Amino acid sequence: MSEDNKTRIIRRTQIVASDGSEKTAQAGGLPEFSDDKTRIIGQNSVSDASDSPKTKLFRPKRENSEEVKNETVDPVVGWLVITAGPGKGKSFELGIGNNSVGRDKSQKVSLDFGDAAISRENHFKAVYEPKKRKFYVAGGDSRNLAYLNDELFNNLVEIKNYDRISIGETELMFIAFCGEQFSW
């Protein structure tokens, strides 16, 4: 195959200097090509280092000041794993504080696998309390009930590793990551 028949892919970077002038540079110092066989994919804007004294990283807006100090958004503290029913084998990360469980995509733990007995929103809550490093479950707004190890729960109840939570046809197992030995 001759050199002319090969496709060349070049990435071009737009550089903006502190005086506002713009320059175009090819990645790796490659020459610019003007033929119709060259495709330029992606253009990135890069500011000159003299634009600001520090590089700022983009981070999503966080409401919890503790998260800002730790520079984490929602660290994993444990998991709920579906052990029986629709969605068997799927796992869901739990974060610090209240984790609402329901079928709707807006829920921290979205169990949308065809079990219509699970409420769309807030069937129950899985809670990690970081000061005491303990986990709890609490009933939500559902008319359908939730069970912890085959016992009905509605108020805040402490849970331990391998406890089973049943809602509708679905059974979940709780697995802790944080606890006495570690917490964020």
- Residue 73: the pLDDT is 76
Q: How far is CA 7 from the centre of its chain?
A: 38
Question: What are 46-91's pLDDT values in tens digits?
Answer: 444 444 455 443 333 445 555 455 555 789 999 999 999 999 999 9
Encode 102-152 in three state secondary structure: ECCCCCCEECCCCCCCCCCCCCEEEEEECCCCEEEEEECCCCCCEEECCEE
Q: Are strands 109-110 and 97-102 parallel, antiparallel or unpaired?
A: parallel
Domain boundaries, the chain: 9-50, 78-176
pTM (predicted TM-score): 0.61
Q: What is the mean pLDDT of the chain?
A: 77
- Residue 129: the pLDDT is 95
The helix (run of H) or strand (run of E) holding residue 67 is: helix 65-70
Q: Is the pLDDT of residue 10 over 90?
A: no
CATH architecture of 78-176: Sandwich (2.60)
Neighbours of 4 (CB within 10 A): 7
- Residue 178: the pLDDT is 96
- Residue 74: the pLDDT is 87
Question: What are 125-161's pLDDT values in tens digits?
Answer: 999 999 999 999 999 999 999 999 999 999 999 999 9
Long-range pairs for 64-68: beta carbons < 8 A, 24 or more residues apart: 64/96
